[in-house]
A and B are shown apart, each in its own frame.
Chain A
Amino acid sequence: EAQVTQNPRYLITVTGKKLTVTCSQNMNHEYMSWYRQDPGLGLRQIYYSMNVEVTDKGDVPEGYKVSRKEKRNFPLILESPSPNQTSLYFCASSSTLYTEAFFGQGTRLTVV
């Protein structure tokens, strides 16, 4: 089954404690991205990757890091989480920017 898998689904952490949200896709897609969803703001792109070892900033990259060492994986790293990073996060993958994006189930992150 074609899918994008994110883990964990829910996470509560404390300010400053480094965390990683994993994302994996099984469709051999080249394009992957991370979004955060906040009420009234829609989906805002954090980072994206056009292929292995190629990443670039989205619209809200501050406080986040990513890496793309393998085609299937695109982890999101919060080196020092802050309360304003409390949000619902989605990973997505697609063949190109101009084709259907498949989204993961989401990760609800709370930073206290």
Chain B
Amino acid sequence: GENVEQHPSTLSVQEGDSAVIKCTYSDSASNYFPWYKQELGKGPQLIIDIRSNVGEKKDQRIAVTLNKTAKHFSLHITETQPEDSAVYFCAASTMDSSYKLIFGSGTRLLVRP
């Protein structure tokens, strides 16, 4: 079945710097890759997603890139702000007989003022 690995587990950056979180997946047939942000005490919220027919997608300071050949996708946050501090999860959809999203283990991002 699908397996998603996420790195790093923790990331500390200075305000204004960029942050990059990377994920790899195992099922070459997966075709949907969302990223979720979880603030303290809350449920995860979708921040951006990408489908397998697209290589890159941007939304203001956030971008996601997908390399289907290498089976990895990355989240890029530019000009980081303290409110970007949270836990970020990547996920990949399964395409076998099940119908699931498989999540990575999460990255705790700390943006230092």
Contacts and interface: CB of A to CB of B under 8 A. Distances in A.
Interface of A: 4, 31, 33, 35, 40-45, 48, 50, 56, 58-59, 90, 92, 97-98, 100-101, 103-106
Given A42-B104, A58-B100, A105 B43 contact: yes
Contact of B105 (A41, A58, A59): A41
Contacts, number: 63
A42 B21 CA distance: 15
Classify the secondary structure of A's interface with B: strand
A90 B102 CA distance: 14
Interface stretch (B44-52, B62-70, B74-82): B44-52
B73 interface: no
Nearest to B90: A42
Given A42-B104, A97-B101, 11 more contacts: A4-B43, A40-B9, A48-B100, A50-B99, A59-B1, A90-B44, A97-B100, A101-B34, A101-B44, A101-B46, A106-B43
